[in-house]
Amino acid sequence: MAADAAVPEERRRPPLAVRLRLWRNRQIARPGFRRLISRLPLLRRIADRNAAALFGLMSGFVHSQILLAGVRLGLYQALLARPADTASLARQLGLTATRMRLLLGINADLGLTIEVAPDLWTLDDAGVVLASDQGLSAMVRHHDLLYRDLLEPDRLLKGTAGETALGRYWAYARNAEPGLLSPEAVADYSTLMRESQAMMAACLLDAHDFGRHRRLMDVGGGEGAFLIAAGRRHPGLGLHLFDLPAVADRATGRLDAAGLAARASVTGGDFARDRLPGEADCVTLIRILCDHDDARVAAILANLHRSLAPGTRLVVAEAMRGTDAGARLSSAYFGLYFLAMGAGRCRSPGEIADCLVAAGFRDIRPVPSPNRLIAGIVTAVR
């Protein structure tokens, strides 16, 4: 060890794994090597797959815009209702037949539409999911803000991009007094959160049995979409929602309209500062911690710890970093998303656990998530 430390860093030999990786990289960089691989049947399949994945990365923005065009023009909704031919779809969407054929063709290339008989079109699997989940279309539509902010990703990374559209949209993100936000400032993001809650709720309700609790408080619960889903799944569960005052007002209306007024109560306040009601035996934080930098996460969790009764179960569910394909896709997306938003980051279950330990929570466990693309889940006990 001592001898190694005496060798200047640039002359130290890298470990074998690093040397192998560098050798491999040098080979892949050589056009001759790639030509050789393309002639060997087994390796060729791997090379083709990698080339397709690289092209997918390069063209991802175009794919997103195909999706945006389909959502805005109402293509997926039109085909969800019934199969159609090019001419009738063209009339319905207000396109020429030529452009309609183009739109149908490029959507078919992406697995969104399918020509089931000569010039008879319907939705392919991914198109059906997109058309039947309102939240996905809402997310696609709000990407126009994100993509504007991402036009110069290098400036975002250097911190020279200035104010961003997403920063304005998520009005609480960098706000020292979020409790004072107006009804107008919270309206758009609250609608998006309600519309995009269905998949998250299904994922979390399958992962954790909320039926064993007496009273559930959803902290930062938005307009109550998760509480409504939980209340329907577990008719005996008492419900409480905590959010900023302007959002809490919206939640009251939604919970009433869902017929849950008698079972549900709502409190408005700042979850990083104000004492939270302590009657719940289960508390959820859904898509909350990821929105905030470490210092505010520490303040939120410390405030929760102060407010909740010992023994209360805490359930954290949000996009989390991980090694499986779903978690990696989600963390790459949210990595840049939170940068554009100006606050927050995508943490691993281990990092969430560290935050919980630091705030005084115990018995911290990652819970297997039915869908890591949607959420990682960590539970703890106050």
Ligand X SMILES: C[S@@+](CC[C@H](N)C(=O)[O-])C[C@H]1O[C@@H](n2cnc3c(N)ncnc32)[C@H](O)[C@@H]1O
Name the nearest CA neighbour of 343 among 198, 166, 204, 177: 166
Sign of the torsion formed by the C-alpha atoms of 30, 34, 39 and 41: positive
Contact between 68 and 130 (Cβ < 8 Å): no
Cβ proximity to ligand X, 79 vs 375, nearer residue: 375
Q: Contact between 169 and ligand X (CB under 6 A)? A: no
The correct pick among 127, 178, 342, 349 for binding ligand X (CB under 6 A) is 178
Q: What is the dihedral of CA 227, 233, 239, 242, to 10 degrees?
A: -20
Segment lying near ligand X (by CB under 6 A), choices 48-56, 75-83, 130-138, 189-197: 189-197
3-class SS at 104? Answer: helix
* x/- track of binding to ligand X for residues 289-328 (CB under 6 A): --x-------------------------------------
In the complex with ligand X, which residue's Cβ is closer, 149 or 291? Answer: 291
| Binding residues for ligand X restricted to 324-353, rule: CB under 6 A | none
CB of 285 to ligand X, least distance (A): 8
CA end-to-end span of the chain:
44
Task: Answer yes or no: are the C-beta atoms of 211 and 151 closer than 8 Å.
Answer: no
Report the residue number, 66 or 246, with the smaller CB distance to ligand X: 246
Indicate the pairing of strand 113-117 with strand 264-268. unpaired
82 CB-side CA count, 13 A: 5
Q: Is 197 in the site for ligand X (CB under 6 A)?
A: yes
Longest dimension (CA), the chain: 78
Q: Which stretch binds ligand X (CB under 6 A): 10-18, 145-153, 203-211, 282-290?
A: 282-290
Q: Based on CB atoms, which residue is closest to ligand X, 121 or 226? A: 226
221 binds ligand X (CB under 6 A): yes
The yes or no reply on residue 224 touching ligand X (CB under 6 A) is: no
- Asked if 270 touches ligand X (CB under 6 A), the answer is yes
Task: Return the percent helix, strand and coil in the chain, to nearest 5.
Answer: 55, 15, 30
Decide: is 369 part of the binding site for ligand X (CB under 6 A). no
List residues near ligand X by CB under 6 A.
172, 178, 186, 190, 193, 197, 200, 220-222, 225, 243-244, 247, 270-272, 286-288, 291
